[in-house]
Amino acid sequence: MSAGPLPPILLVGGGKMGAALLTGWREQGLASAVVIDPSPEAQKLKAPGIDVFESPADIPHGFAPAAVILAIKPQMAAAALPCYAQFAHGALFISIMAGKTLHAVAALLGVQTAIVRAMPNTPAAIRQSFTVAVPNSLVSEKDQALATQLLSAAGELAWVTDESLLDPVTAISGGGPAYLFLLTEMLEQTALAQGIPPALARAMARKTIIGSAALLASSDEDAAKLREAVTSPAGTTERALAVLRAEHALPKLFQDAIEAATRRSRELSA
């Protein structure tokens, strides 16, 4: 499918990720969409051609979405999804619910449905997301092209065929922004502990992370090579890295953290 005006979309869930996707679609020329979200904040998503309703019962008669995007919490799936089975024969379903497998989504819809499971991350808000997606066997080439257009509106998209990869993807890419924000927090807090004034500590932590990410984005070098370029032999950075990379220090903690998040993603499939 070539880029251009998007067909009608039904967005289930108007939270941060749903709203970020909707903004990206509008930039691509989305003409018609219905958003289902009972929260008062979701009313802010109203715009020409975009209606916001509290319940699927309010969806206008005759509305026929080309795609239904499930952007709700996985714990809500069992109660919510059967309400949208009416669209399963004509629409592509795209689920961004953490942990919910293609089989689990299909079982809740109760019909043979073309489904894409995807995991974007929060930089979607500035069209800098990294999304990984996997289709089920009923997704046609046309469906996949539509999914590509919809998900690419948030940033970069990669397709895989092995659904089991989506659990570690959720842990690494889905949760990755939180880990980076935590690192920023820790840099600021340790700066304060060293007596650096609060305003300077905050600016220094943020700009160090932002500048380093920009350097990484502009370089063809591996992250390890860029790290080595900062690390002078017998210097201050080498001394700090010796602590961070010690046995049972940061590499082990990070591995344990990712394994814990991956397990949680698998638990959410139930």
183-211: per-residue pLDDT in tens?
999 999 999 999 999 999 999 999 999 99
Domain extent for 16 = 9-161
Evaluate whether residue 170 is within a structural domain.
no
* pLDDT number for residue 217: 95
Q: Residue 131 pLDDT > 90, yes or no? A: yes
Mapped onto helix, strand or coil, the DSSP state of residue 115 is strand
Confidence of residue 3 (pLDDT cuts 50, 70, 90): low
Evaluate whether residue 90 is within a structural domain.
yes
The verdict on 117 and 222 lying in the same domain is: no
The verdict on 195 and 137 lying in the same domain is: no
pLDDT digits (tens, 9 = 90+) for 67-111: 999 999 999 999 999 999 999 989 999 999 999 999 999 999 988
The verdict on 15 and 115 lying in the same domain is: yes
The verdict on 131 and 64 lying in the same domain is: yes
131 and 24 in contact (C-beta within 8 Å)? no
237 and 244 in contact (C-beta within 8 Å)? no
- Mean per-residue pLDDT of the chain: 95
In the chain, the number of structural domains is 2
Q: Which helix (H) or strand (E) holds 50?
A: strand 50-53
The verdict on 131 and 257 lying in the same domain is: no
**Exposure string for 65-101, b = 16+ CB within 10 A, e = fewer:** bbbbbbbbebeebeebbebbeebbeebbbbbbbbbbb
Which sign, positive or negative, has the C-alpha torsion 23, 25, 28, 31? negative
Evaluate whether residue 233 is within a structural domain.
yes
Domain boundary among 161, 189, 216: 161
What CATH number does the domain containing 96 carry? 3.40.50.720
